[in-house]
Amino acid sequence: MAIFGSTLLAAGCETADPTSAVLDNAYEVADPTQGTAMTIYKAWWSVALFPDPVAAGQASDAVRVVQGTDYAYALLAPGWDPTGGGMPSTLVPVRTAMRLTANRGDVLHIVVSDATAVGNCSAGNPLSTDDAAFIVERIFPGDFADATYDAATCTATPVAGDAGTD
């Protein structure tokens, strides 16, 4: 009976290996004479937050995820050096062009670049207004709490604080 039970358990789980994801920043490392590098400030896929910045040409540590299929969302920080401290002056929300699938026991590589993501206006590929609103209001609301984001221009405008009424 014990052998039968363990066989069913193994068949139901398919594998004992954890499912994980890695964020790959496929933007090229910048040549100082040609412009600045693109850092991924943070990202989200399904139920997993990638909270640490990933510099151009680098990959994140693996994060445990659940199997599934979904878009990945990220905040790009053009020209920001994560080793310099401070917050990025510009954040550009993007999402992968296709839904990505993590299978049980596999490592999903979430590759972020202008070829694999939608939303970077400087690449001529802005998000729709609805997609941008979803990302800034639902995925990364804290990063845009004091700003309104314009998807057509990839700019965030600070919102004036409420001065109150008399």
Write out pLDDT tens, residues 78-94: 989 888 878 899 999 99
Numbers of helices and strands, H then E, in the chain: 2, 12
pLDDT-based confidence at 9, cuts 50/70/90? very low
Is the predicted pLDDT of residue 10 greater than 60, yes or no?
no
Pairing of strands 107-112, 20-25: parallel
How far is 104 from 10, CA to CA, in rounded Å? 13
SS3 content of the chain, % helix, strand, coil (to 5): 20, 35, 45
Which residue from 23, 19, 20, 21 is spatially nearest to 117, judged by alpha carbons?
23
Please report, for the chain, the start and end positions of each structural domain, with discontinuous segments joined by +: 15-158
Rounded mean pLDDT, 9-13: 50
